């Protein structure tokens, strides 16, 4: 398989084009590390301004969507220790959270002194959605460039369940632990636009509704909630504009009591469904669902091309794939 000479995207990636030097169109549109540094500094200042505006207006300054993985764990550290924000930590339990991850969530929320809530949807509903996602596409083809259909399902639920909580509690910011490959800097601080989010909600809720019916309603916003524009928070992705060095991140997390789960693959430090979801995606589309994100990290100098290639060619963890199959009865 031919790969981009600079990043790790393969020739069968949707809409990819290579120039005569073998570089892809995504690498050719990257504006360079200098520009990225300027943008990061500008967004760091923008975030400080936003904090001045919203701090201490309510019970919490922001939510954090917290998987217990290394990126969102580090984001919790940044929010608490760098910016001193009052954080409500929200964890989505998809039924596949590893034992070590629960220990990590307890350690980090205690050591960084944050309140924490877990939302676990009725597993029979999740199971129906995951089983469906294994066998057929559910969402727009564009979503397949960024994640497996199973991952897109989980993230879709997380986005709207937690937005609903933020709106109901009048919390002005929602923080996310997206890695620099997942969150482009230009969308790292963004007030949520209800009209746009209604379109996004429909794109996820409708396919799920076809599978589980009205049982899906509690996880999404009502029309009345969409009508009240003033209560919509900002989405924030701090790791997009902070320095990101995986070794330093792991060192800091270790000091805070976080330990790497041994039972997950290299791309996910928290989810026991991830290996299976990746395998299904690779079998069907012949590229790794993390390829786009890892390509961006290679392009922007966050990781070397060699490390990136290792991450996308690592075989899935057989034991967790077996566990996922058994739990989903597939």
Would you tell me which residues interact with Zn ion (CB under 5 A)? 4, 6-7, 24, 27
Of the pair 5, 319, the CB lying nearest Zn ion is at 5
Of the pair 276, 292, the CB lying nearest Zn ion is at 292
Q: In angstroms, rounded to a whole number, what is the distance separating the alpha carbons of residues 193 and 184?
A: 18
Of the pair 27, 277, the CB lying nearest Zn ion is at 27
Nearest-approach distance from CB 260 to Zn ion, in angstroms: 29
250 phi, psi to nearest 5 deg: -65, -35
Nearest-approach distance from CB 9 to Zn ion, in angstroms: 5
Nearest-approach distance from CB 194 to Zn ion, in angstroms: 35
Bridge partners of 116, per DSSP, are: 89
Nearest-approach distance from CB 36 to Zn ion, in angstroms: 16
Of the pair 71, 296, the CB lying nearest Zn ion is at 296
Nearest-approach distance from CB 15 to Zn ion, in angstroms: 13
Nearest-approach distance from CB 295 to Zn ion, in angstroms: 6
Of the pair 9, 189, the CB lying nearest Zn ion is at 9
Of the pair 233, 308, the CB lying nearest Zn ion is at 308
């Amino acid at each position: 398989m031919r790969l981009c000479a600079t990043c790790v995207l393969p020739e069968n990636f949707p809409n990819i084009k290579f120039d005569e030097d073998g570089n892809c169109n995504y690498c050719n549109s990257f504006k360079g590390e200098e520009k990225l540094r300027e943008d990061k500094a500008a967004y760091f200042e923008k975030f400080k301004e936003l904090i001045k505006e919203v701090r201490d207006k309510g019970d919490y300054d922001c939510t954090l969507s917290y998987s217990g993985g290394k990126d969102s764990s580090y984001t919790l550290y940044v929010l608490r220790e760098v910016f001193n924000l009052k954080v409500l930590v929200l964890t989505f339990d998809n039924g596949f959270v590893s034992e070590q991850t629960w220990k990590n969530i307890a350690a980090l929320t205690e050591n960084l002194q944050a309140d924490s809530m877990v939302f676990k949807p009725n597993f029979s509903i999740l199971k129906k959605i995951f089983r469906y996602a294994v066998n057929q596409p559910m969402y727009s083809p564009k979503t397949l460039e960024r994640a497996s259909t199973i991952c897109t399902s989980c993230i879709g639920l997380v986005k709207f369940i937690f937005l609903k909580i933020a709106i109901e509690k009048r919390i002005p910011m929602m923080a996310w632990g997206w890695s620099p490959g997942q969150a482009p800097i230009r969308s790292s601080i963004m007030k949520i636009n209800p009209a746009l989010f209604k379109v996004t909600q429909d794109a996820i809720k409708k396919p799920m509704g076809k599978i589980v019916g009205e049982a899906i309603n509690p996880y999404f916003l009502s029309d009345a909630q969409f009508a009240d524009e003033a209560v919509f928070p900002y989405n924030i992705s701090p790791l997009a504009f902070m320095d990101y060095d995986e070794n330093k991140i792991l060192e800091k997390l270790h000091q805070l009591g976080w330990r790497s789960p041994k039972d997950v693959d290299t791309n996910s430090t928290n989810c026991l469904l991830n290996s299976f979801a990746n395998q299904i995606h690779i079998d069907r589309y012949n590229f790794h669902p993390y390829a786009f994100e890892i390509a961006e990290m290679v392009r922007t100098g966050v990781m070397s091309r060699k490390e990136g290639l290792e991450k996308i060619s690592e075989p899935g963890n057989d034991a967790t794939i077996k566990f996922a199959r058994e739990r989903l009865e597939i």
